Amino acid sequence: VFGIIQSTDYGWIKAKQMFNAFGVNWDFSGYSISIVSIIIGLILLLIFMYWEARIESKGKTPLVSLKIFTNKQFNAGLATSMVMSLGQAGLIFSIPVFIQAVLGKDAFHTGLAMLPLSIAAFICAPLGGFLSHKIPPKYLVQFGLFLNFIGYLVLRNSFSTTATTSNLVLGLIILGSGMGFIMAQIGNITMSAVSSKQAGEASGVSNTVRQLGSTLGTAVIGALLLTTLTNSMVDKVNASEVFPEQFKERIVSEVSKSGDSLEFEASPNINYGFPEKMPDFAKDLVKNEMKYIVSEATVDGNKVALWYAAWIAFIGVIVASWLPKGTNIEKDDDISVKNK
């Protein structure tokens, strides 16, 4: 996760800059700290799995029994939960950025603007529970994920520098409805796959996978948003007819260095390098142009973020096809999953 988060600043494979830690610059032979961290994380995960299998083979109680991952229904539930969390975390990360940076709302009004999402989820969650007695939960989960897919695309098309919070209502309602149908079912499907003896570790694994999905979603969608935002700003600065040519190089340099924080500010604090005799109206003209560019770039970044979030949700529809079809998915202690 750390490697993914740092990809914006240091690059995915080749290092954009050296990684500094404890006052020391780490070279890694020209490779980025991102790919190095990801490889180290995978190695540690493999070591953990080997150690748990070794403990279990000796008849001792492991922290997590690897046998639990031989349960197909449990694995399908975990995979669906992770994909769901990955996409939804990107939503929670990107939309507030748009509302605050482009629409100029404060934190309180940002929460109010997203209220349709919560209300729709609140209504559809119990509705999904009621329908689960007549419709297999698998199909309710797939329907919810498909609603997420549609909702992301509707929201994406509503983003513009002239948008208002009312333009977001339809997309948020669709997304909230999808979230309600999913969350009312996926936990029950996952936990019903294991016996009561395995419930403790299964619950821990399920929660960990959801948190991992949320963290990865924030990291991946955030990295896409910031990369697109920064690149869009650089392109728009270079194409601007307002900025004097002698200022463009400095502004591009400032934008490239501080792009990771510009998405939260409608008027970024940039050192333009204005000459002392430059008229105030000219300075204001340059600053207003920069404000417009930040808004346009933020829209571009959020559209890319929601585009990927939409297809993550669509992948979730496919992943959920491995869930059981029955309306009775409870598992007894000594028998396999029942499907009707």
pLDDT single digits (tens) 297-315? 889 989 999 999 999 999 9
pLDDT at 58: 87
Q: Are residues 77 and 96 in the same domain?
A: yes
pLDDT at 104: 85
Q: Could you report the per-residue pLDDT of 68-99, keeping only the tens digit for each? A: 888 888 899 999 988 888 888 767 778 888 88
Q: Are residues 88 and 229 in the same domain?
A: yes
Measure the CA–CA gap between 259 and 97, rounded to whole angstroms: 13
CA Rg, the chain, in Å? Answer: 24
End-to-end CA distance of the chain: 40
Number of domains comprising the chain = 2
State what percent of residues in the chain have pLDDT above 90. 29
Q: Are residues 79 and 40 in the same domain?
A: no
Q: At what angle do helices 199-239 and 245-262 cross, to 10 degrees?
A: 170
Q: Are residues 199 and 278 in the same domain?
A: yes
pLDDT at 46: 94
Among 63, 82, 108, which residue terminates a domain? 63
pLDDT at 275: 65
Q: Are residues 234 and 264 in the same domain?
A: yes
Q: How far is CA 2 from the centre of its chain?
A: 14
Nearest to 171 by CA among 95, 247, 283: 95
Among 10, 34, 63, which residue terminates a domain? 63
Q: Are residues 42 and 149 in the same domain?
A: no
For tokens 């995979």, what's the residue? 79
CATH number at residue 242: 1.20.1250.20
pLDDT tens series, the chain, 340 aa:
788 777 767 877 888 888 888 888 888 888 888 899 999 999 999 999 999 899 988 888 888 888 888 888 889 999 998 888 888 876 777 888 888 888 888 889 999 999 999 999 999 999 998 898 889 999 999 999 999 999 999 999 999 988 999 999 999 999 999 999 998 788 888 888 888 777 788 888 888 888 888 878 887 888 788 888 888 888 888 888 887 777 778 777 777 766 555 444 545 556 656 666 777 777 778 778 888 888 898 899 899 999 999 999 999 999 999 888 765 555 544 333 444 3
Q: Are residues 86 and 114 in the same domain?
A: yes
6 is in which domain, residue-wise? 1-63
Q: Are residues 24 and 134 in the same domain?
A: no
